[in-house]
Amino acid sequence: MEEVTDFAFREMFARYSGNGQQGTGNGFVMFTEFINTDGLTHPEGYKKLAIDLKYSENQRPIVAQIWGNRPEKFLQAAKIAADLGFDGVDINMGCPQQKEIGLGACAALIRQPKLAQEIILATKEGAVSAGRRMPVSVKTRLGYSKSGEMAGWVENLLSCGIAALTLHARTKQEMSKVPANWEKIKEAVEIRNQATGNRQQEGRTLIIGNGDIKSREEGLKRIQETGCDGVMVARGAFGHPWFFRNDGYQLGAKERLRVMLEHAELFNQELGQYKSFVIMRKHFKAYCSGFSGAHELRAKLMETKSFEETKSIVAEYLKTA
C-alpha cells in the first residue's frame, strides 16, 4: 500500500506482532510499498525511491513489491531487490487506481495476459543474486470488469510457475465498493489443485486470499472455508500493530495512544527527512477509534504537521482522559 507499508509501519508490526528476535523471522510476511520499476531502475529515481526499500532484520520475511509494464525493467528491479537481500519480490497486477491503469500497469495487465507472462518471466530471471533465487509472486484481482474473467486469468498466471498468487476478491471495476467475493477464492484454489494434481505444498503455487479481513480470527476462518494457503491483510491492520498475535492481545485507550506515539516517533526518526509527516495522519485516524473522546482527538490530530505537535496534543488529551 503506497504511503502506508513503509519502514516505520512494518517495524511496529515486527515489534508488536513479531517474535521479537532479530533475524529469526515472523509468523507472517511483510511487503514494501509498491515501487515503480521505471523509477527504481533509473539512477536519479533510485536515489528517491531507495528509502522505500529500507527494512530491518526484524521485518523478515520481507518482500519487495514492484509495478510497471516493461519486462526489461522488471528484470532490473528484481535484480536490485535480490542484491539488497529481500526474501522475495511481488508483482502488483491489482492496483485499480486510474494513474497506474493509464500507464498500462497494475490491474490493466489483466487485459494483457501475454505481457503479464513476459513480466513474470523477466522478474524470475532477475530475481537471482550470488546464486540465491528469490521466489516471485503476483498480487491481482478477480478480473478487470467481470469476476467471470477469473478462471482464464488465474490459469494464465499459474502457468508461469509463480511461488504465490494473492487474489483480491473483487474486480478492478468494483474497487472496494462491494463486499469481497470469497467464493471466488475457493474457486481459484480448485483451479490450482486441478492444475497440480496430487502435488502437495512443495512446488505448487500458494493461493493467498485478500479482502475485508478485519481480525486474525476472521482470516483463519477464511482459510478454513476456502482451502487457500493464507490471507493478506491490508486496511484491517491499520492502527493495530498487534493484529497477528494469537493470544487475544488488546490495548486500552492510553496504551493505544502510547503505541501511536511510538509509531509517529519512529516515522519521524527514520523517514522524516524523506517523507512528509502528514502521511502519519491516516494512521492517527485508525489508532484513534473505539474510546471516549476519540472523535475529538482524531480531529485535532488530522491537523498536525510534526511529531512534537502530535505529542503535545496527546498529552493534553491524557490530562482529562
Q: What are the catalytic residues? A: 95
- 110 φ, ψ to 5°? -60, -30
Angle, to 10 degrees, between the axis of helix 253-271 and the axis of helix 7-16? Answer: 140
Cα 213 to its chain centre, rounded Å, is 13
Beta-carbon-side half-sphere exposure of residue 97 (alpha carbons within 13 Å):
8
Three-state SS at 126: helix
How many alpha carbons fall within 13 Å on the CB side of residue 99? 3
Q: Which among 288, 268, 287 is positioned nearest to 278, based on CA atoms?
A: 268
Q: E strand or H helix at 152, and its extent? A: helix 150-158
Integer Cα distance of 253 and 315 in angstroms: 13
Distance CA 60, CA 22 (A): 9
Query: How far apart are alpha carbons 191 and 220 in whole angstroms?
Result: 21
Q: Give Cα 201 to chain centroid, integer Å.
A: 23
| Helix/strand/coil for 128 | strand
